[in-house]
Amino acid sequence: MIWIKPLVFENIRIAFQSIRGNMVRSVLTILIIAIGISALVGILTAIDSIKNSITSEFTRLGANTFSIQSRSMRVQIGTNRYRSKNYNYISYFQAREFRERYTFPATVSISVNATQIGTVKYESKKSNPNVTVRGIDENFLQTAGYELESGRGLTFKESFEGDNVALLGSALIKKLFSGDTDPVGKLIAVGSGKYTIVGVLKDKGSGFGSGGDQIVLLPFTNVRQYFPRPQMNFRISVMPRSPQLLDAAIGEAEAVFRNIRGLNIFDDTDFIVEKSDNLVNLLLDNIKYVTLAATIIGFITLLGAAIGLMNILLVTVAERTREIGIHKAMGANSRSIKQQFLIESIVIGQLGGLLGIILGILAGNGVSMLIGSSFIIPWQWMFAGVILCLFVSLGSGVLPAIKASKLDPIEALRYE
């Protein structure tokens, strides 16, 4: 052990001397390895950022919520289409009865879509006819994940008595009001009704089919009056007080609503209970194909780097044949020569891997910054990159090392 350690350090020193002596080829090989590792680490880091962003966004919206509805959303990702069965609509009286009868420790809200092509007017200003108008109760903001920028939410009285009050999304506020105007308390027109603004919603975005920031929220009883249509389909959202109570809350909700719908024990459930994290799981499940593609791209690049590294080491063996002969003539055995070339290969590989990991983290977190996610240090991909570079180095260095160790010292000394 006393002699092994100095020999390893000496071989590392010689490896760095060889790298400096063949700077152009060594740098090119290091860059090829770095590109392969940075592609792998960068894409996988970006994918982790996207996963975290999706998960945190849905957690903010209430990952422990579920909804009761007659028809779930239709989602298509790639060639896969996900669609749930259609059932009878949920009436206003059924939704209201569920809210009154559901005694589980949870927050219940009921809402209904009025229109998605609404127009909002304030004095001489008018929005485009692409505004989502939705009827809600006083609990909707909590279960849907909306937050208030200013003003207040609806009260129980306003929700059930249909007062002419409204909550507006931030995009509408920017469209209708100047920067120094406080919109709270102002009178606007939505359809044929006049409403007083009582609250302004924070920015939320428009992903996953939501109304985003082009939205007006009105009391649901008011929507029944000003946006009437046959078979208005209500949506019930439930948020248990603790995520651990989610499954129990779903079971209780299904039992209560089956009773409200007049179903007996032999009837199929004619409504859908959908968890808010179903879409998250669906998206994360499809991201695995992107991860697989990124891994394949990284491995192909690393294969090219391995071939380049092997070629450089073979050329190095030819250029240093006389040096190898001198080492053998001075007593170096085949094992030490083989170790010297393997260590040189490992040093080049790890330098490329280190550079690739740094570039990959920067690239991946660049995507993270663009989507507003937090900075990620992908420890598992960093360790994977180091191990991959080690295998690439060993695989590339074995053949040149064996070739160097088998050189005849007499022939090597005569080599010109």
State pLDDT tens for residues 251-281.
999 999 999 988 888 888 888 887 766 556 6
Contacts with 27 (C-beta within 8 Å, 6 or more apart), sequence order: none
Q: Which pLDDT tens digit goes with each residue over 84-98?
A: 455 578 899 999 999
**Rounded average pLDDT over 288-292:** 74
Confidence of residue 323 (pLDDT cuts 50, 70, 90): low
3-state helix, strand, coil split of the chain in percent (to 5) is 55, 15, 25
DSSP letter (8 states) at residue 332? -
**Which of 175-179, 194-198, 207-211 holds the top average pLDDT?**
194-198
The mean per-residue pLDDT over the stretch 213-222 comes to 91
pLDDT of res. 101: 93
Task: Identify the band that residue 296 occupies on the pLDDT scale cut at 50, 70 and 90.
Answer: confident
Q: Which of 198, 117, 127 is nearest to 158 (CA)?
A: 198
Q: pLDDT at position 38, please?
A: 81
Work out the pLDDT band at 79, boundaries 50, 70, 90.
low
Over 70: is that where the pLDDT of 54 sits?
Answer: no
Question: Quick check: 2 pLDDT over 50?
Answer: no
Triad 206, 208, 213: Cα angle to 5°: 20
Highest mean pLDDT among 18-32, 91-105, 385-399: 91-105
Q: Are 237 and 143 in contact (CB under 8 A)?
A: yes
Q: How far apart are CA 261 and CA 98, in angstroms?
A: 10
Sorted by sequence, the CB contacts under 8 Å of residue 208 that are 6+ apart come out as 279
Which H or E run contains 19? helix 4-21
Q: What is the pLDDT of residues 81-131, one digit of tens each?
A: 444 455 578 899 999 999 999 999 999 999 999 988 888 998 888 888 888
Report residue 5's pLDDT band, with 50, 70 and 90 as the boundaries.
low
What's the pLDDT score for residue 83? 47
Per-residue model confidence (pLDDT) at position 284 = 63
Average pLDDT over residues 64-70: 83
Q: For 134-153, how does the pLDDT look when each residue is reduced to its tens digit (9 = 90+)?
A: 999 999 988 887 889 889 99
Given a cut of 80, is residue 199 above it in pLDDT?
Answer: yes
pLDDT, position 136:
93
pLDDT at 208: 45
Those residues whose C-beta lies under 8 Å from the C-beta of residue 363, and which sit 6 or more positions away, are 38, 42, 45, 46
Beta strand ranges found along 53-94 (DSSP E)? 66-69, 75-77, 80-82
> Of all helices (H) and strands (E), which one includes residue 133?
strand 131-136
- Could you tell me which residue, 389 or 57, shows the higher pLDDT? 389
> Rounded to the nearest 10 degrees, what angle do helices 278-319 and 23-60 cross at?
170
Distances (CA, A) of 329 to 8, 239, 295, 323, 326: 20, 80, 46, 10, 5
Confidence of residue 414 (pLDDT cuts 50, 70, 90): low
Cα-only R_g, the chain: 33
Q: Would you place residue 290 in the very low, low, confident or very high pLDDT band (cuts 50, 70, 90)? A: confident
What pLDDT score does 328 carry? 63
Banded pLDDT at 61 (limits 50, 70, 90): low
Q: What CA–CA distance (Å, rounded) separates 380 from 79? A: 31
What is the average pLDDT score of the chain?
A: 78
Sign of the dihedral defined by the CA atoms of residues 380, 386, 390, 395, in that order: positive
pTM of the predicted protein model: 0.57
What Å distances lie between residue 154 and 62, 122, 136, 305, CA to CA? 19, 21, 9, 63
What percentage of the chain reaches a pLDDT higher than 90?
Answer: 19
| Mean pLDDT of all residues in 326-332 | 65
Answer whether 131's CB lies under 8 Å from 120's CB: yes
CA distance 129 to 119: 5
At residue 241, the pLDDT reads: 85
Nearest-angstrom CA–CA distance, 266 and 137: 34
